[in-house]
Amino acid sequence: MTSKHRPPDRQLAFERMVRPHLDRLYRLAWRLTGRRPEAEDLFQELLIKAYGKLDDLARIDEPGSWLSRVMYNLFVDERRRFARRRLHTVHDGELAGEGIEGMPGNDNPVGNNERLDAIRALEAALSELSDEHRIVVLLHDSEGYKLKEIHELTGLPVGTIKSRLHRARTRLRDILTQSGTFP
């Protein structure tokens, strides 16, 4: 292979540091945004920002946690910018009711209507939670982040995270019980 076809050392170093965390980071983007186009945009924005901070990233012991924190901050910043906008647009996925079955890697479970109904009921219940509660319960219960990792990611005290997690679970249980999904 000639030298002009080889990626520069900087690019290889970035790939080595980031590649082990890509799946978890994309799932985090998906969980934060709830929609594929926004998740892809957030994920791409993170990679661009991280590449620009490659020297900082190389000095970090836990690049996965650092990358998750940067992604969370990008998400919060975008939410704040969006809240200040006067005109809100509706994306095609919102109109079509795009949900978890639209997430990459999940096929539409045609033969399993009960499971699909339960997933839709859970999505609907999650959408009724505040952003603060929804994010904490998804990070902890769905993505498997530990309380300390959520603290590092969000900057919230562990006690606040525990409280939000408890309240979110209680609210989800109430919603799912009322809908008949949860006995």
Residue pLDDT, tens place only, 40-59: 999 999 999 999 998 888 88
Whether the CB-CB separation of 164 and 136 falls below 8 Å is answered with yes
**C-alpha dihedral sign at 121, 127, 128, 134:** positive
Is pTM beyond 0.75? Reply is: no
| Residue 19 DSSP code | G
CATH architecture designation of domain 109-183: Orthogonal Bundle (1.10)
Within its chain, how far is the Cα of 5 from the centroid?
A: 34
Nearest to 170 by CA among 150, 143, 141: 141
**What are the domain boundaries of the chain?**
8-108, 109-183
Which pLDDT value is given to residue 139? 86
User: What is the band of 164 on the pLDDT scale with cuts at 50, 70, 90?
Assistant: very high
